[in-house]
Chains A and B, each alone.
Chain A
């Protein structure tokens, strides 16, 4: 039990639609990261927020956007969904202190785009 919760657990959308995924971080954590995991692949970094500011971004287009709120909950928004966006989306929270960054993952949201 990591204390990180994601909602919804499963979601089905159609191409072109927009989706918002939510994550509630572990209490006291100041950093939230989002990853996309396609079937059979390792998690791919989307972006990270540190104290409500975007702190790093992976190789994802601008239609992937996010927010981190003062209570350290977070959202991932994806606009104009494409079939290739079908994946498991993982949220990870951490208390970043120098080089020490232990990640606590939620169980993920399985997104299917039809």
Chain B
């Protein structure tokens, strides 16, 4: 029962910025937003996470709205190797625990 909403697919030209949106309107106050990506049948790979402030690392930037109801993952200069399914996830309360819950993600295709 995913608590995030992402577009099913997007495409981007190589060398351009890829901006992947995610809606997480029911996120609770102290839960982080995480982004992972999965390249064909491999395990998901961690990209970045954030709580309230915008974050940047060597892979990407994460912009979180002030109300924390949505975020955008930015790949500043997309390459062909960035073609993957991107998942935005938050933890969901379940029986006293908090469980990282995946939706169906966004399939990003980077074309030449």
Contacts and interface: CB of A to CB of B under 8 A. Distances in A.
Interface of A: 2, 4, 33, 35, 41-45, 48, 55-58, 88, 90, 92, 98-108, 110
Contacts of B31: 99
Contacts, number: 72
B87 A42 contact: yes
B43 A106 contact: yes
B95 A57 contact: yes
17 contacts: A2-B43, A2-B45, A41-B104, A42-B85, A48-B97, A55-B97, A56-B96, A92-B44, A99-B32, A99-B91, A101-B100, A102-B34, A102-B46, A103-B36, A103-B46, A105-B43, A107-B42
B23 interface: no
Interface of B: 2, 30-32, 34, 36, 41-46, 49, 85, 87, 91, 94-105
B31 to A, nearest CB: 6
Given A41-B104, A45-B102, A104-B46, 4 more contacts: A42-B85, A42-B105, A98-B30, A99-B98
Nearest to B51: A99
Contacts of A2: 43, 45
B102 A43 contact: yes
Nearest to A88: B41
A108 B42 contact: yes
Given A88-B41, A100-B32, A108-B41, A56 B99 contact: yes
Contacts of B94: 56-58
B100 A42 contact: no
B36 A35 contact: no
A88 B43 CA distance: 9
